[in-house]
Structure 1
Amino acid sequence: MKQSKLIAARYRLDTKIGAPYGSQIWNARTIDDNRIVTVKLIKKEARSNHVEKLFRFQRDAEILKTSPHPGIQRLLDFGEHEGDYFIASEKMTGMSLDDLLRESDTLPLKKFFPIGIALAESLAHAHDHKVWHGGIRPENVILVPSGNGEQTLLTDFQHDLLWELSAAPHDTMLCLFAYRAPEQSGVLRRPVDGRSDLYSLGILLYHLLTGRPPYEHADVYSLMHLHIASHPEQVRSVRPDIPEALERLVLKLLSKEPGDRYPSAALLAKDLHNVAEHGENKEKTAAVARGAAYPDISTGHVRFAGRSREKSALLAAYQKAVDHNGSVVILRGEAGIGKTRLVETVHEEIRRHGSILVHADYKEIEHPLPYSGIFRPLNRFFHFMDLFAADTRASLEERIKSTIGDLGALFTPHLPRLAEIAPPSSPVPSLAGEQEKIRFDEVLLNLLGELAAHFPALILFIDNIQWADTDTLLFLKKVSRGRQLGNLLFLLTERPGRDAVSAEKTRLLEELETGDLLVMELGPLSPIDVRQMVSFMLGDSSDDILSLGDIVFQKTAGNALFVKEFVSMLLRDELIAYDGGWKIAFDRIHLLPLTDNVAMLLLKLIADLPDTDNEILSAASVIGKEFDFTSLAGCFNEFSPDDIFRAVERAQTDNILLTDGNHILFSHDTVHQYFYTRIPDATRAASHEKAARYFEKQAGTADH
């Protein structure tokens, strides 16, 4: 008889009970006490090797182990065995919601409400501990028979972090993205937090009520587009027997803007209890999914406020591109003033029209390869192209072949996907001198134009062009001088002041700005904008909140980062507090220092950081005002990934660092400079050399 497999000397596999993408799920027994458990193996060929994701999973798993909840499946163990990840969990016997939905299209309300309330309460517990689920789907909910009927269990918290999904089968991706929030698509640059879970729960509740998810499509990219751009059919048009308040509740969860969803799972559970108890009593359920509520602003993402003039100008430039009159636009402003956030907000609108935005950014310390500002977005485009419907992808590939032919070989070192789409049949003949570069630029522009022609518009968003490579700047200079760009739009951001930029790049930037382009200067927010931002942050637009907004403007001079930090400080110090309504200590707030000292308030928080955190953040300051986890760990491997993860997490909690989901940003120049000046003069040059070596080594990977 074949010996059953032993995992990590702690679990003996017994019976395989499932094999979803890249994994196996087993009934197993513990070696020490012969207890039955569930073991999931994530195979090495499908596992993610992203260090930050692994540490986030381990951190969240440890929190849930030490803070259990009856509605959450207990995770017992996690580790690595022969290259595979393994996750051991409490064995639960029951039916998944996925199985239940196969038996019955919709649920009666008497069964629906206990499930919905239990899931909301489980999420409330996890979110209180800053743990997100990240993958709520029918198969991750188990109904376990109990003495009182059924217990609803939420399983697989953050399991999606452990998979490398780029190679997942098409059907697996469709299943995942059917329940993912717009900000989880990878298309929008937004943080994923508890409100993303609430969106996924809204999709699930909609499915339970109507018999289908609100958005369905045969290809992944179109499905992502529906989540970003479309609105679901009204629940009561499919299921007229449900209360109006319940429809309102579900549709609020499905809001595109995270700030328009429920601010907390606890409030959602309260409203579900209300509707379950009072049903069609419109008077008693009138407040469900309506009115102000105390929001959680600790996520670092605040609903976009103000900038109406600049937003209109960007949308006008976009519309010109749709009308085959593309252009180049530069947004100039200080770090943290809101350049990238403005582009993201416009992106959300243009994405609804079917246009595509692809993004590249530069870091101060790196030495990018030639044309990386163009090739990085193109590589992202080809990544998204793999998610298109088969007929759309085939049509695009044919257009690419007919446009560039054998000349595609010019780009295949930078665009490896191009070699698969249009493999050259003969070598490209060399040209003399400047003619080689002219041909390269012309073919590249033709390729961009052909890709753009397939959509209403194609937008290349290039962040921090003051640190761009010379060839990218020369290319942008060329396209900004009387070229017909069709439905191509180049959006560039730049920080003012070029003291740290080479003389050659300074000259190129100055020449670029003399072309046929639009330069927009982003200054501080206006008093009206700050009022709106404070109103969004606090979920209230009463007269007292608007008056508070006026004071905040006076104290912060309209700097968006300062506004957020100032209001966060007021909350921390209980100068504003929520108790059925906002209580505001106006007299004490008036006495607080002005804008130049707001950053000093952050420095007081910094003083309380552990020494290791200070050292890690000082190392991060060498990379620049913004960085990412992987780069920080790669540049300075004297710090363990675990220490880096925890230092960054603590700093984000105190708003010393901010994040957009992909990048980490020092919250203010003063804070960045503080950490940078902590580095001893004797070791500063060596720190810069470490970072430079890392980015030079990574340059080929980043540009291919």
Structure 2
Amino acid sequence: MIPDPSLSEYTGLREAHHSDRTLVLSAHRMNDGTPVMLKMVAPGCGDPGAARSLRWEYELLLLARGEAVVGTNRLIQSPSGPVLELEDLGEITLANAPALAAEQVLQIGIELATVLTRIHRLGVLHRDIHPENIAYSKATGRVTLLDFDAAARVEGRTQRSAEAGLGGAFGYWAPEQTGRINLPVDQRTDLYSLGAVLYRLLTGTAPGATDDALSAVHAALAIVPTPAHTLRPEVPATVSKIVARLLAKVPEDRYQSAAGLAFDLTRARDDLRLTRRVSDFPLGSRDVSEVFSPSRRLYGRADALAALAGTLSSGAASGNGTVVTITGPPGVGKSALVAEAARLIAAGGGAIAGGRYDQTAPSPMSGIVEALHAAIRAALTLPERELAVVRARVLDAVEESGPAFLDLVPKLKLLVPALPPVPELPPAEARNRTLAGLDALARALHTPSRRLVLFLDDLQWADAPSLELLERLLLTPEGRPTLMLAWRDAELSEGHPLTAVLARLPAESVRALQLGPLGVAEVTELVADTLSCPPSRAAELAEPLATKSAGNPYFVLQLLEALHERGGLRFDADQRGWT
């Protein structure tokens, strides 16, 4: 059966793959008999982004055309939507491959690392590498990367993609693809997913194999996979170390380039072929990122992070949320410290939900509403049984808030589609009812099995209703989520309303963290990590950067970016380093 009249020039149409968004048919062109694959929007798919993704995939496949990337011939504009004609590889994917011999896995890894080197140099991030998206011919050893509909194009400091999501598949997505930590998706994300594929081929199981979204998120953020050579003793220990490096939770701890990975995989394969063993050689000797990417590690904040971790731990033990304040000038690293804390929170099975105030925000309580929306999205990833408990808690908390409450917190409709009418009240009483509903909602989203941390940033710009709500949460600790509050202390005068709110709190109930500038040693470490060079070489650049930036981490990164854009920092492919 031909699903579209525009496909009448094809014969032998047969379904090869069907998902909620796309339908893939195998077919033959009638004019020359060439076998092809036809990828189109699935019948009944109501997602307008599906057609956009197909057009985007065609654009990227033309850009990345070449060895080890599935070829495309044309994009057909049919009445029912775009149809992408792809080459029929006549090969199966790695989806159902058993555990393979180490030498075979190394060869597959070399092929994939080589194609990633090429597409990364073109500014393309695949973002969805997993066995089903890799075609493999056992007879020829040919490896081909498929499905670029989730891919992104890097242009300067921005990324373009067909969809707003971060890509990835359960068991193969990197920590930064979970949406729970504030780290960019970049070329190292693809390398993490490739590491997960190699782990699966070596051991027979994915490092975070699960069908449950919450478990997949927890695995990506917190669970370190058992080393491959522990599960299969025949896997050489050095190969196991290569895969473990790819699967590092922190991007800076992974391989930084596909070319550096390909070098180590090739050396391991050659060792295995020549001696039937792999020597314990140092990893990453040729691994330098070819993409300028300033390090996002946290520098000079070990004491603050340890204090924050201790406070979070004590709050989790008591069941009542603690209060942490984080202050300092703009760019000093308040958000970066919280992003690091988010990993600890996620590793402990909790969730962090953040909101930022903006002095130009048109709507009231914008920061707290943004944070509650994030908390609701996190709740929706819970298993159905736990989600049902949260829904009941939330309904009980906001049932008397009235239908207008759903207009204030629109995403609440995902948990509670409707609220019963309530009597009209005078303005002051209506305001109190709304504040009571928000207070109760925040507490309802904080459950014994799912600890919640609310992070409110730039509180120097918070409006009066937000500060009233904050005071309610601060003065009644029972059952509240942990509160992490940040502001620019230079913009908080003695007469600021937030100062008055904080003054009513017992000093011992608040853990105050004050962040200052970085020293030359920390800036040197940042530069060394960014340029993948020894600290002794980085010091020459770090000292003037520390002086010019006054030790402000944000300004250090901006100065490095500006230096690179002006051509002051260039990657030398022959020397495999930045000059």
* TM norm structure 2: 0.84
1:604 maps to none
Indicate conservation of the 8 Å contact 1:42/1:85, yes or no: yes
1:576 Cα deviation (Å)? Answer: 9.3
Partner of 2:65: 68
Equivalent of 2:367 in 355, 362, 373: 373
Q: 2:385 aligns with which of 381, 391, 402?
A: 391
Aligned to 2:503: 514
Q: In structure 2, how many angstroms separate the alpha carbons of the residues matched to 1:426 and 1:63?
A: 50
2:179 corresponds in structure 1 to: 186
Offset of 1:132 from its aligned partner?
A: 0.7
CA separation of 1:165 and 1:507: change in aligned 2, threshold 3 A: closer
Equivalent residue for 2:143, pick from 132, 135, 152: 152
Is the 1:307–1:529 contact (alpha carbons within 8 Å) kept by the matching residues of 2?
Answer: no
Give how far 1:329 is off: 3.9
1:511/1:78 CA distance change after superposition, 3 Å = farther
Q: Counterpart amino acid of 2:238?
A: A
Does the C-alpha gap of structure 1 residues 10 and 339 become closer, same or farther in structure 2, counting only changes over 3 Å?
farther
- Give the whole-Å Cα distance in 2 for the aligned partners of 1:419 and 1:284: 57
Matching of residue 343 in structure 1 with residue 338 in structure 2: yes
Q: Which runs of 5+ in 2 are unaligned?
A: 152-160
For structure 1, which runs of at least 5 residues remain unmatched after alignment?
167-172, 585-704
CA deviations on 1:379-400 (whole Å, 9 max, x unpaired) are 2322232221122212323333
Change in 2 beyond 3 A, CA 1:271/1:576? closer
Aligned partner (choices 527, 547, 554) of residue 534 of structure 1: 527
Establish whether residue 123 from structure 1 lines up as the match of residue 116 from structure 2: yes
Shift of 1:296: 4.3
Choose the corresponding residue for 2:431, options 428, 437, 444: 437
Work out the CA distance in 2 between the residues paired with 1:50 and 1:253: 31
Shift of 1:224: 0.7
Name the residue aligned to 1:642: none
**1:472-551 paired onto structure 2 within 5 Å:** 472-480=466-474, 482-486=475-479, 488-495=481-488, 507-516=496-505, 517=510, 520-546=513-539, 548-551=541-544
1:195–1:576 CA distance, 2 compared to 1 (3 A): closer
Maintained 8 Å contact 1:4/1:13: no
| Higher percent of residues as helix | 1
- How far apart in 1 are the matches of 2:108 and 2:87? 20
Where do 1:48-67 residues align within 5 Å?
49=49, 58=56, 62=59, 64-67=61-64
| Structure 2 contact 321–482 (Cα < 8 Å) conserved | yes
Equivalence for 2:45: 45
Letter in 2 for 1:412: L
Cα deviation, 1:39-92, whole Å, max 9, x if unaligned, reads 2113473545499x969x83x754542452211112344576446453332221
User: TM-score, normalization: structure 1?
Assistant: 0.70
Separation in structure 2 between the aligned mates of residue 488 and residue 66 of structure 1, nearest angstrom: 48
Moved more, 131-140 or 558-567: 558-567
Q: Percent identity of the aligned residues? A: 25
- Please state whether the residue corresponding to 1:452 is helix, strand or coil: coil
CA distance, structure 2, for counterparts of residue 163 and residue 13 of structure 1: 32
What letter corresponds to residue 97 of structure 1 in structure 2? L
Q: Please say if 1:18 is aligned against 2:17.
A: yes
Contact 1:69/1:125 (8 A) holds in 2 = no
Of 348, 354, 361 in structure 1, the residue corresponding to residue 349 of structure 2 is 354
Please state if 1:240 is matched with 2:233.
yes
Aligned residue runs from structure 1 range 293-692, under 5 A: 293-296=287-290, 298-300=292-294, 302-322=296-316, 323-368=318-363, 370-407=364-401, 411-415=405-409, 418=412, 421=415, 427-432=421-426, 434-455=428-449, 457-480=451-474, 482-486=475-479, 488-495=481-488, 507-516=496-505, 517=510, 520-546=513-539, 548-567=541-560, 572-573=567-568
Question: How far apart, in 2, do the equivalents of 1:357 and 1:426 lie?
Answer: 30
| Two-structure CA RMSD over aligned residues (Å) | 3.8
8 A Cα contact 2:238 2:278, kept in partner? no
Please tell me whether the aligned partners of residues 403 and 419 of structure 2 are also in contact (alpha carbons under 8 angstroms). Answer: no
Greater Cα offset, 193-202 or 279-288: 279-288
Matched, 1:217 2:219: no
Describe the superposition over 1:397-416 as per-residue Cα deviations: whole angstroms up to 9, x where unpaired.
33334555555756333445
Q: 1:291 to 1:515 in 2, by over 3 A?
A: farther
Residue identity opposite 2:300 in structure 1: G
Distance 1:80 1:313 in 2: 59
> What is the CA distance between 1:230 and its match in structure 2?
1.0
Alignment counterpart, residue 219 of structure 2, candidates 209, 217, 226: 226
Quick one: distance in 1 between partners of 2:576 and 2:142?
Answer: 35
- Conserved? CA contact 2:324–2:485, under 8 Å: yes
Matches of 1:574 and 1:444 in 2, distance apart?
50
One-letter amino acid of the structure 1 residue matched with residue 141 of structure 2 = E
Q: Give the C-alpha shift of residue 190 in structure 1.
A: 1.6
Q: 1:387 to 1:63 in 2, by over 3 A?
A: closer
Report the alpha carbon displacement of residue 324 of structure 1 after superposing the two structures with TM: 3.9
Report the CA distance between 1:282 and its aligned residue: 11
How many residue pairs get matched?
A: 561
CA change 1:575–1:273 in 2 (3 A) is: closer
Which amino acid counterpart does residue 326 of structure 1 have in structure 2? G
Shift of 1:529: 1.9
The one-letter code matched in structure 1 to 2:343 is: E
